[in-house]
Structure 1
Amino acid sequence: MSASVIFFHGTSEHFFRPLTWADREACAAVLRGLHERVHGPEADYAQALTKDLVLEICLGVIAQPAYREGALSAAQAVNADAERGYALNLLRALKEHGWLEDYKDPIDLQPVLKLTRAGKAFAETFAELDNARHKTRQRNMRSARKALLAFLDEHDEDELLDAHDYASRVVQDLQDDIEYFRALMQSLTREALTQKLAWDEFNDFLERRFGKEMSVRLVADSVDRHRGQIIELLDQIRAWPAEQRERTDAALLQRADWLEPMLENGRSATLWLCQRVEALIDAACELKLPMLRSEMHNYVRRFTSLLRPRWTTAPNRRWA
């Protein structure tokens, strides 16, 4: 068995333990906050994850009534010292159980913190499950771009691996949307057969889901802007000297042994990842985005054609 398959060992042996305590909701909220602050689409990659920043996020979470009750005992005297003590204990628990790790900033060589690879993956899951967040397909394009920027600035190989992950999600997200419209078409067909066309649902789709979410995904200029920037960053990485690239290749293979079967005749892992990221972004922009537009237009055109007889008897309807 490959060593990479073994997860629950070393510092990760009790990885999920912090999420089994009474403050688990607060812990999950802190993990969401950490991911959004340092890896989310709007993250500032120039800001290092310091101990003070982690404590600030913890204190911000337990200031909210929804999380405070589980984090601080009702019998406990709640004051600034108690809150800071809780934040320090949670920070220690996240480090002890493999969510956070010490890291030396390559710019000023100062000790900071970073989410471990597993910590980043599961923290991102909590962030994705937060339905209050407004999601657009450009978020993964932006995340891929920012991960590449961070890789160029910090030479942290995990960032290049993350860029590859984000690029693959751009394609999958668009495919999910394509399947969403196909499901709408199937539902529309069933409703048409029973003469129960759901005008309210269509109206809600146009005003809320399309107006606030889908239309953003279909803006070609936004996608193309991110695409061009991503290609420029990839070209900068591909222009690295051979010696620097070989060091990066070795580090990548240590972190992701799944890369090894992909490399033939001694091919560079760095160059392979760059090529894959570019291919995924190209597929999203040239294949999946046009398919999404086509499916969306088919749905709207079909529904409007079925509802046109109703509009002729409903003068207050203003949809074109």
Structure 2
Amino acid sequence: MTDTLFFNGERSRFFRPVNSSRRELVVACLRALYDRLHGPAADYSHNLTREALKELLLPVVRENQGAFESDQEPDEFTEAESSDPLQLVNLVVRVLTRDGWLEQFPDRHGLITAFRLTRPAKLFAHAFWSLNRPSRARQQNMRSCRNALEAALHAKGSADDLLDAYEHAEKVIEDLTEGIDMLQERIRLLMRQASMHNQWEDFVEFLDKFQRSYSKQFTVDSATLNKNAIRNRLEALRTQLDDDRRQRMEADLREVATWAVKECSGPSVFEWLLDRIEEIVAAAHESKQPGFMRAMNTYIKRVTGLVQQSMMLRTGQNRHAYMAAVAKVASLASAEQDILLLHIGLHLTPAEVRLLDPASFKLRTARQRKNASTVSVPPRASREARMTAALNAAEENAFSVANTELVQDMRKRLRLFQHPVRVSALPLESATAVLGAMQVVEAVRADHESDMVVRRLPGRVENEFFIGPDYEITFKKRT
């Protein structure tokens, strides 16, 4: 099945209006149209007739009538009479209808013709409208992901709860990426203009947005704070669901999420979705949120630097003013000098000059200088303290097993036996082997570049050391 061509039919010159000599005017009209038709205060009870359309666009055209690109190639907007707003409104409506932004349709009674945005026009107009609209997002997607996973664990949980958790996890990355891009754009604007006077309003807007939304991303909606809770719920979904619920949820996912079936690389969509949520949350915690904090820190430093530079320039201007006054006095005649100095003196009258008492300056004695230059030697740890620290370190590292070693050992076993390996079949001849058997499933799942896959088995592992669900580890199937 071939995809439908976008630039086809009436959309063959779709972007021509937003690249015309009055593109700012056209974009402003598109924002007004989207707000009227699909914004929060949209009136869905009345269709947009031709007269209502002109009444809507006329104030917008008058406000942006002076926005004209003189270096643009001649087009229909160049020939239009710029002093006649009504003519410009008619031209904008005609151009948007011709190039596939607006479409006409009969209303439900079929008595009049109304206008609406086409489907692609609605998507692009929403982008223009969103850029000019202050953000109202509460940005609680991390908490929403955690709550959706909790709902999926509930007895009445369904596949829809799991899909909600996946969508919220994706929006976490989108929120952080949007914040990073916005801060980088502010930094570029700062460097381009290099003027604190022009950027002060943007900085105040940033502080307001930080208080409204960004502070929540670093506190209650932080990926760092919610990461462990989400991982615990994911592990509970892997281990605590019985076979009936797991099969039912797997079947529901294959029915309602066909896109997941296509993207899934393993036999189970349910397991693939849980792994994807865990990967997204880990990426938000390890990459995106630190990058967001670095971008914010860089922006604050640049603004602070501009403030300091502005204060230094203002101080320098005051010093230059005194030098200019001295130079001007030197260039005047004696009578004019007296008049100018009298005028300057009136402005300097509030100034008060104080001198330091020379008696307050005292030289240090030789003993005081010696004490001040003496560097204290740090105390040397005793043999007993060093022994205690070494024993504590040995106890802490005695039963620690690295995930990389477990992954490499499991890979060797799979290549040696040429068949899947179960956790219940692993040898338990030492304490380190017992810890490795308890930790190997987590080690394989934590290795994002691993060529192995873990599958939960219906049976359980019961021995003298631990009791838990049994798992099977094997190589991924190559497609």
What's the TM-score once normalised by structure 1's chain length? 0.52
* Cα distance, 1:244 vs structure 2: 2.9
Residue type of the partner of 1:157?
Answer: A
Distance, in Å, in 2 between the alignment partners of 1:302 and 1:172 is: 25
Matches of residues 136-285 of structure 1 in structure 2 within 5 Å?
136-137=138-139, 139-153=140-154, 154-192=156-194, 195=195, 197-205=197-205, 207-219=207-219, 222-239=222-239, 240-266=241-267, 268-285=268-285
Distance, in Å, in 2 between the alignment partners of 1:205 and 1:169 is: 23
Answer yes or no: is the 8 Å Cα contact 2:223–2:284 preserved in 1: no
Distance, in Å, in 2 between the alignment partners of 1:133 and 1:172 is: 14
Distance, in Å, in 2 between the alignment partners of 1:312 and 1:210 is: 28
Answer yes or no: is the 8 Å Cα contact 1:141–1:223 preserved in 2: yes
Over the matched positions of the two proteins, sequence identity in percent amounts to: 27
Answer yes or no: is the 8 Å Cα contact 1:181–1:296 preserved in 2: yes
Answer yes or no: is the 8 Å Cα contact 1:136–1:217 preserved in 2: no
Q: Radius of gyration: which is bigger?
A: 2
Q: Unpaired runs of 5+ in structure 1?
A: 2-15, 25-124, 316-320
Q: Find runs of 4+ consecutive structure 1 residues off by over 6 angstroms.
A: none
Distance, in Å, in 2 between the alignment partners of 1:300 and 1:231 is: 33
Distance, in Å, in 1 between the alignment partners of 2:159 and 2:221 is: 30
Answer yes or no: is the 8 Å Cα contact 1:249–1:269 preserved in 2: yes
* Cα distance, 1:298 vs structure 2: 0.9
Q: 1:173 to 1:197 in 2, by over 3 A?
A: same
Matches of residues 52-71 of structure 1 in structure 2 within 5 Å?
none
Residue type of the partner of 2:246?
Answer: R
Higher relative contact order (CA 8 A, sep 6+): 1
Answer yes or no: is the 8 Å Cα contact 2:223–2:289 preserved in 1: no
Q: 1:215 to 1:198 in 2, by over 3 A?
A: farther
Query: How far does the alpha carbon of each residue in 1:220-251 deviate from its partner, in whole angstroms, 9 at most, with x for none?
Result: 88433322221111111111234431221111
Distance, in Å, in 2 between the alignment partners of 1:20 and 1:207 is: 34
What's the TM-score once normalised by structure 2's chain length? 0.36
Match of 2:83 in 1: none
Three-state SS of the structure 1 residue aligned to 2:278 is helix
Answer yes or no: is the 8 Å Cα contact 2:176–2:289 preserved in 1: yes
Match of 1:93 in 2: none
Distance, in Å, in 2 between the alignment partners of 1:180 and 1:241 is: 45
Distance, in Å, in 2 between the alignment partners of 1:207 and 1:133 is: 13
Match of 1:22 in 2: 45
Query: How far does the alpha carbon of each residue in 1:21-53 deviate from its partner, in whole angstroms, 9 at most, with x for none?
Result: 5289xxxxxxxxxxxxxxxxxxxxxxxxxxxxx
Q: 1:206 to 1:21 in 2, by over 3 A?
A: closer
Distance, in Å, in 1 between the alignment partners of 2:259 and 2:293 is: 35
* Cα distance, 1:218 vs structure 2: 2.7
* Cα distance, 1:191 vs structure 2: 1.1
Answer yes or no: is the 8 Å Cα contact 1:191–1:197 preserved in 2: no
Query: How far does the alpha carbon of each residue in 1:238-284 deviate from its partner, in whole angstroms, 9 at most, with x for none?
Result: 11234431221111101111122233452x11111111111111111
Three-state SS of the structure 2 residue aligned to 1:179 is helix
**Backbone CA RMSD of aligned residues:** 3.2
Match of 1:292 in 2: 292
